[in-house]
Amino acid sequence: MTKTKSKYSVCLCHASNVLARSMTKLMDEELAVLNLTSSYAYLLMEVAAQDKINPKKISESLELTPSTVTRLIEKMENRNLLQRKQVGRSTEVRLTKEGKSIMKQIKICIERFEKRYAALIGEELIDKLTKDVYEAAMKVS
């Protein structure tokens, strides 16, 4: 992709989409060694942080629709990284043994990703940008 300034660069929607695609690409490049994308890594990290969690809480925490969370969980179940268990009327999601073993590698990939974007953007701008973008997202959602 060329680094010429787009005539749409003054549009927040366009600029935020360009940034989101670029950041996702960087993260997915780091996670490619694990055959994961950022969506799956965030899902696995959330489940690991809670030990057991229901899909609704995952949906809320990751700010994804329940149907998207269900699809992500199913794919990770197929790779034997997650398991679902019915407990009464609710569902618990847990990491499998294989899921637990991949967490250290995910952390290493995330650290490499963070170093890459820090080198490109700079720490000061990252902190401000992250805060401002999330604040704006909460106002429009």
No. of helices (H) and no. of strands (E), the chain: 6, 3
pTM of the full structure:
0.89
Q: Candidates 1.10.3720.10, 2.60.40.730, 1.10.10.10, 3.40.50.1370; correct CATH number of 36-140?
A: 1.10.10.10
Q: Which two tokens stand for residue 59?
A: 């949906």
Q: What is the pLDDT of residues 1-55, one digit of tens each?
A: 557 788 888 899 999 999 999 999 999 999 999 999 999 999 999 999 998 999 9
> DSSP 3-state assignment of 58?
helix
Shortest CA distance to 73 belongs to which of 103, 46, 49, 106?
A: 46
Domain definitions of the chain by residue range: 36-140
Q: What is the pLDDT of residues 45-79, one digit of tens each?
A: 999 999 899 999 999 999 999 999 999 999 999 99
What is the helix (H) or strand (E) element at residue 60, kind and residue range?
helix 55-62
